[in-house]
Structure 1
Amino acid sequence: MAKPSHLERTSADPREPNIHSVVFLPGQWLDVFAPGVSKTGGFTLTSTPREESGDEGHLELAIQKSENNPPAAWFWRDEGNVVGQRVIIRVGGGFVWPPPGVDADKIRRIVFVAGGVGINPLISILSHLHQESVLPEHVQFLYSTRQTSSSQSSILFYDRLRKIFGHSAKPDHQLTLFQTSAMSNRGNGPVVSEVQEQGMRQATENMFLKNVRMSDEDMEVALGPVNHRGEVLAYVCGPPVMTDWAVANLRAAEGMKSEQVLCEKWW
């Protein structure tokens, strides 16, 4: 499970340790230099630029627990050994909003495709667009995840996704969760019945659960009508095999162009 960690804002340049803001775009990552750790940590920002601003601003990272990754292990130490420590950070990455080389004003549909912890940069982009009230009319979020318990706590950022999609007044703002575990083989259906049965909180008709793998057909439906695909932008992030498959499908779909599909792999 990933651990959300909040960083005190500091400078990317060790010669300027008291800088009061960090400029970044939704979807970017941080190089993190933790004290006493020789290896640089690379972690995706899951917060938004708005959450960084002001006196109480913060940067949030979702860090997978790993004893073999020294920077990650540093953050997973007891809280008393982490809070108050100063780290040096450097912002990077081009998998962002607004999309490079694309006129964002012409985008009428966004398709997010996430696999596992690949949701990290996508939750930052989605949350930013929601906070700024600039989500386009059509948003399809396809999220493949392994559920490891009967609780929503095993689904990364479930509460944030539910807040956005569960309260959306737009019928074409939809979240589809693809559960690849063997917990249930009861078929497909709205989260409002399936998820409540597993102890999750209330959902709406804008949220769906499928106990199968994501398919070519799911991609085709998410892209919408062929004659409007010039207005579509897709973000894909996840494990390499899943990402390669999704990107190939999206770019090969009728009416889509290569530059309309942005991807970031988790190696």
Structure 2
Amino acid sequence: MDLYIPQIDEVGGYSMCSEPSKFDKDGVLDLAIKYSTWAPAHWIHTKASVNDELQFRFGGDYHYPHNTINAKEPHRLVLIAGGVGINPLISMALHASDIGLPVETHLLYSAKTEEELIFKNELDALTQRDSGFHVQYRVTNSEARIGVNDLEGFLSTDKPTYFYICGPAAMVKDVNASLLQRGVTKEKIFYELWT
């Protein structure tokens, strides 16, 4: 989503980290914005106050279910997150659980440190209340980042499998290339690449 802040020329580009129904039901939209000196993030962390009015615009084609997925058909959803790339993917996981689709969801989530695994408590709670949701954590300071070996179990399956990738550009490109090399068609891979 694009976030427009008064008196700031730069447009903040963020992904919501709450399920879409939360906004529809309660008028609440959750964002996780890492501190930065970039004007929109800096304003959020240093100047934003309760009752400030902001404008935002939703758009793009990085969402679940994508219009190319038959969401009513049993399928597997593999979400691959690196760092703050978790933001849109937690929204997708919550949405899949919230609307009760016949989906088995697997989240592979890596961060540099244990402390940077944001939403860990929420994700652990989701595994408790939704038997179709599974999460694996990886701390890259002490382990290798998510790679092809982590994906092998999702490549041959009895049901359609869709991959969503979000994180640092190198990770997204590597995971995408690995999936393509192993025969996953590009129509089953969705990613958000930051520039």
- Residue type matched to 1:74 in 2? W
In structure 1, how many angstroms separate the alpha carbons of the residues matched to 2:176 and 2:43? 34
In structure 2, how many angstroms separate the alpha carbons of the residues matched to 1:213 and 1:240? 13
Tell me the equivalent position of 2:189: 261
Retained in 2: the 8 A contact 1:35–1:87?
yes
The partner residue of 1:164 within 105, 109, 126 is: 126
Percent of residue pairs identical: 28
In structure 2, how many angstroms separate the alpha carbons of the residues matched to 1:218 and 1:49? 29
Retained in 2: the 8 A contact 1:45–1:120?
yes
Shift of 1:218: 1.0
- Residue type matched to 2:32 in 1? A
Retained in 2: the 8 A contact 1:44–1:61?
yes
Shift of 1:174: 2.2
The partner residue of 2:176 within 220, 231, 247 is: 247
**CA offsets 1:224-243 (integer angstroms, 9 cap, x no match):** 535x26x1111111111100
Shift of 1:91: 1.1
Shift of 1:250: 1.6
After the TM superposition, which segments of 4 or more aligned residues of structure 1 sit over 6 Å from their partners?
none
Retained in 2: the 8 A contact 1:141–1:176?
yes
Shift of 1:220: 0.9
1:238–1:135 CA distance, 2 compared to 1 (3 A): farther
Tell me the equivalent position of 1:106: 73
In structure 2, how many angstroms separate the alpha carbons of the residues matched to 1:213 and 1:168? 26
Retained in 2: the 8 A contact 1:32–1:90?
yes
The partner residue of 2:27 within 43, 52, 57 is: 57
What RMSD over aligned residues (CA atoms) do the two structures have, in Å?
1.9
Matched residues, number:
195
In structure 2, how many angstroms separate the alpha carbons of the residues matched to 1:105 and 1:248? 28
Structure 1: state its 5+ residue gaps.
1-29, 183-210
Shift of 1:95: 0.6
In structure 1, how many angstroms separate the alpha carbons of the residues matched to 2:74 and 2:164? 13
In structure 2, how many angstroms separate the alpha carbons of the residues matched to 1:241 and 1:144? 13
- Residue type matched to 1:233 in 2? Y
Retained in 2: the 8 A contact 1:148–1:181?
no
**CA offsets 1:163-192 (integer angstroms, 9 cap, x no match):** 11244435xx4211111114xxxxxxxxxx
SS of match in other structure, 2:30 = strand
Q: Pick the structure with greater CA Rg.
A: 1
In structure 1, how many angstroms separate the alpha carbons of the residues matched to 2:102 and 2:44? 33
Higher relative contact order at CA 8 Å, sep ≥6: structure 1 or structure 2? 2
Structure 2: state its 5+ residue gaps.
none
The partner residue of 1:45 within 16, 28, 32 is: 16
The partner residue of 1:128 within 63, 70, 95 is: 95
